[in-house]
Amino acid sequence: MNGGVIAPGAWLGLLGGGQLGRMFTMAAQSMGYRVAVLDPSDRAPAAAVADRHIRGECTDQSALDELARLAQAVTTEFENVPARSIAYLAERCRVSPRADAVEVAQDRIREKEFVQSCGIPVVPWARATARAEIERAPAELFPGILKLSRLGYDGKGQARVASREEALAAFDAFERRPCALERLAPLEREGAVIVARRAPGDLVHFPVAENRHARGILDTTIAPARIGRELAERAAAAAERIAERLDYVGVLCVEFFVLPRGELAVNEIAPRPHNSGHFTIDACITSQFEQQARILAGLPLGAATQHCPAVMVNLLGDLWRTGAPDWTKVLARPAAKLHLYGKDEPRPGRKMGHYTVLAGHVETAIETAEAIRAELGFQARA
């Protein structure tokens, strides 16, 4: 179901209650919407700020019915929402993104085939859905990374493999579930482009961001990315092409690699706002979450223009080893913005919050972000 503008005051719905949902909820509420969150956990970060919390799995039909009765439009905040649940809701209310687009992004094999079908390069790879496919994979794929095709995130469901033998062993350890085998690429940089799209030709992209990962988890985002204009334009054009070809409605993140000689390869796409777009909250005219709310409500997109350079640093549970950090060390810097997600169990590797530093120059933002990191007493996870 589709239609026109859903006016502020109405209910919007959200599948999933994590931090991305929390930031969406806050953005939607600031425009006057009421938000209902469907999540099984009493402690879901988005549920704590939502106007209504429907406790249930996103596969629970009666919970979906309740959400669809209340909300005029529903969106998602995590990647692995079953496409069937989205399709079920779509018969009852407006839903974005659509199930078919989410399905492509949920499956690495389909995702890579799709990106290639758009004429956009990916790193050399092969399907690994049976031992025989690994046995005949080209030698150039080693050393490589074997990635589960479905349900991986933050580096989980991946194994670095030096040889074909290791790939076969890793495939067995993954219980021979479908995988993609990728060549371990020499990464000059990693980046991401976030696109907000309502309809054909009606889309904007945020400035291209540069990402640094540590142990498979995003550590730092630098925006704008320190890459040449031509490369940034190529990355943005690729992201927009993907959004157009998917006929995507919503906020989409395209992660890419910069390879030697300025070659670009798309790594993966996420059918939702993304950790590497958190800088948009403090540094852009419209945040990625506000764009998500606008699109859902049928409102015009806001400008994605960035006010000033920004650096975002993730705060993982590791930092809580000796209790909650002293946040005045962040806030003593007047151009640093602290975001905590209200999670009460700081497990290692768990995303607890982030801070964003704004500055007139990107190098100044990096320096301040690193100084805060040192004062908090943590390094990027080696």
Residues that bind ligand ADP (CB under 6 A): 123, 145, 147, 152-155, 182-185, 187, 190, 213, 216, 255, 267-268
Query: How many residues are recorded in the chain?
Result: 382
Of 197 and 213, nearer to ligand ADP (C-beta) is 213
Q: Is 179 helix (H, G, I), strand (E, B) or coil?
A: strand
Residue 300 exposed, middle or buried by CB count within 10 Å (0-12, 13-18, 19+) = exposed
Q: In the complex, what is the shortest distance from the CB of residue 185 to ligand ADP, in angstroms, rounded to a whole number?
A: 4
Of 102 and 359, nearer to ligand ADP (C-beta) is 102
- Maximum Cα interatomic distance, the chain, rounded to a whole number of Å: 59
Q: In the complex, what is the shortest distance from the CB of residue 79 to ligand ADP, in angstroms, rounded to a whole number?
A: 8
Q: In the complex, what is the shortest distance from the CB of residue 298 to ligand ADP, in angstroms, rounded to a whole number?
A: 31
Reported in sequence order, the residue ranges of the chain that DSSP labels E, i.e. its strands, are: 11-15, 34-38, 52-54, 73-76, 94-95, 125-128, 144-148, 158-161, 179-183, 189-199, 202-205, 209-214, 217-223, 250-259, 263-270, 310-316, 336-340, 351-358
Of 216 and 302, nearer to ligand ADP (C-beta) is 216
Of 79 and 240, nearer to ligand ADP (C-beta) is 79
How is residue 81 written in tokens?
């929402």
Rounded to whole angstroms, the Cα distance separating 45 from 59 reads 20
Of 158 and 306, nearer to ligand ADP (C-beta) is 158
Q: In the complex, what is the shortest distance from the CB of residue 320 to ligand ADP, in angstroms, rounded to a whole number?
A: 22
DSSP annotation of 7 reads P
The amino acid occupying position 180 is: A
Task: Evaluate whether 248 touches 197 at the Cβ level (below 8 Å).
Answer: yes
Rounded to whole angstroms, the Cα distance separating 186 from 333 reads 36
Task: Evaluate whether 95 touches 89 at the Cβ level (below 8 Å).
Answer: yes
Q: In the complex, what is the shortest distance from the CB of residue 123 to ligand ADP, in angstroms, rounded to a whole number?
A: 5
Residues 6+ apart with CB under 8 A from 225: 189, 191, 207, 208, 209, 210, 232
DSSP string across 91-134: TTSEESS-HHHHHHHH-HHHHHHHHHHTT----SEEEESSHHHH
How is residue 183 written in tokens?
């060549």
Rounded to whole angstroms, the Cα distance separating 13 from 70 reads 8
Q: In the complex, what is the shortest distance from the CB of residue 213 to ligand ADP, in angstroms, rounded to a whole number?
A: 4
Q: In the complex, what is the shortest distance from the CB of residue 326 to ligand ADP, in angstroms, rounded to a whole number?
A: 30
Q: In the complex, what is the shortest distance from the CB of residue 165 to ligand ADP, in angstroms, rounded to a whole number?
A: 19
Q: Is 237 helix (H, G, I), strand (E, B) or coil?
A: helix
Q: In the complex, what is the shortest distance from the CB of residue 160 to ligand ADP, in angstroms, rounded to a whole number?
A: 9
